[in-house]
Every structure is written in C-alpha cells, then in structure tokens.
C-alpha cells in the first residue's frame, strides 16, 4: 500500500469499504487460529497437557514444573493469569490421581494463588475442576485444575452481550511475569 493510499484509508469511514456493513464489532484474536486449525480431533489425539512438558517453558506456557505436577497458562483464558495445575501423568479424574499428585496439585494451587495475588493484585479466585466432557471439561482425558484470578472490576458487558472476553496482556508476557515471581523450592 502506498503512503497516499494509506493516508486515504485513514480518513475514509469503514462504511465506504467493500462489503456489507453490519451491527457487529470485530475483536481480532489471531492466537486462536492454532486451536481452530488443529480442530477438536487433533486436541483429543495429541493431549496438550501431555505435550506441554516436552516443550520449552515459553512454548508450553509453563510457569512452574514440580515433581509430579506442573503449572501452565490456559491457552484460552477466562482472565489474564488463568492458570492450570496438571499432573504429568495422563489421568482423567481426581479420584484416579495418586496421593502424591493430589498433594502437589493442592500445594501448587496455593502457590499459584499467592503469586497471582502478588503480581496482579487480584481480589479473589475461581478454582475448580471440570470432570468429564459432560461437566464442561475441554480436555476431559487429562486432569487439570483451573485457578482463575478475579477482580472486582473484571466483569463487563463483553462476555454477556458479545460472548467475548477482553484480555489486557499477551500470554507470553503473563507467563514471563508469573514464572519470574514463582518462589524457588
């Protein structure tokens, strides 16, 4: 695009562009293309929670690696800093986890809360596990606990009216901040 064309497009209202105007706003989320292109079958065939530990921390969005469990960012977060605590072992439900795994999941969840509170000054948390597809688990074959930071002002009309969540930070930036704040053992 030439400089003249670029400056012209800056002054032309979008209603004059090609296409049929509608009442929708657009929120561009190119990071979701990886999920869309992989498709649901690929997500089931290659468990993302089994694959993540084999990647670098940055590529796997891993914040902390423990002995039997680890912490990573949710690729499709409800809020900035939405963490998942997973056992390394591919196990579907909490009752199938070992005592060692449940203990470390609990300890990592507590640490995640402390780190998120210190780094993001959140006001509260949603913590939980969806056990099985019927209960809402997106990856129902690998146990994972959600730790979602919440702020008094984090609710707005986007999720209710537009089914859209606005996230103020990029995942890589959030991972770096949380990993740097994670206490060493």
Q: What is the pLDDT of the chain when averaged over all its residues?
A: 82
pLDDT at 106: 97
Whether the CB-CB separation of 146 and 126 falls below 8 Å is answered with yes
The answer to whether residue 142 is catalytic is no
Q: Is the pLDDT of residue 6 over 80?
A: no
Q: What share of the chain is helix, strand, coil (3-state, %, to 5)?
A: 45, 15, 40
Question: What contacts 9, CB < 8 A, 6 or more positions away?
Answer: 1
Q: What are phi and psi of 122, to 5 degrees?
A: -70, 160
Domains and CATH numbers, the chain: 30-179 (3.30.428.10)
Determine which of 102-106, 142-146, 175-179 has the lowest per-residue pLDDT on average.
175-179
Q: Which of 64, 82, 142, 144 is catalytic?
A: 144
Confidence of residue 43 (pLDDT cuts 50, 70, 90): low
Higher pLDDT, 132 or 129: 129
Confidence of residue 171 (pLDDT cuts 50, 70, 90): confident
In total, the chain counts a number of residues equal to 185
């Amino acid at each position: 695009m030439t400089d003249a064309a670029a400056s012209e497009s800056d002054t032309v209202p979008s209603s004059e562009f090609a296409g049929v105007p509608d009442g929708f706003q657009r929120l561009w989320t190119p990071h979701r293309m990886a999920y869309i292109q992989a498709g649901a079958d690929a997500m089931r065939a290659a468990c993302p929670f089994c694959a993540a530990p084999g990647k670098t921390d940055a590529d796997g969005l891993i914040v902390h690696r423990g002995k039997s469990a680890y912490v990573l960012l949710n690729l499709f977060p409800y809020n900035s800093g939405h963490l998942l605590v997973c056992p390394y072992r591919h196990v579907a439900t909490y009752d199938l986890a070992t005592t060692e795994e449940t203990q470390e999941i609990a300890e990592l969840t507590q640490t995640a809360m402390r780190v998120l509170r210190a780094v993001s000054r959140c006001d509260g948390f949603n913590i939980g596990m969806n056990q099985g597809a019927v209960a809402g688990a997106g990856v129902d074959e690998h146990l994972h606990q959600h730790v979602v930071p919440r702020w008094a002002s984090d609710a707005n009309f986007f999720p209710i009216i537009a089914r859209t969540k606005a996230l103020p930070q990029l995942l890589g930036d959030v991972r770096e901040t949380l990993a740097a704040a994670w206490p060493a053992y």
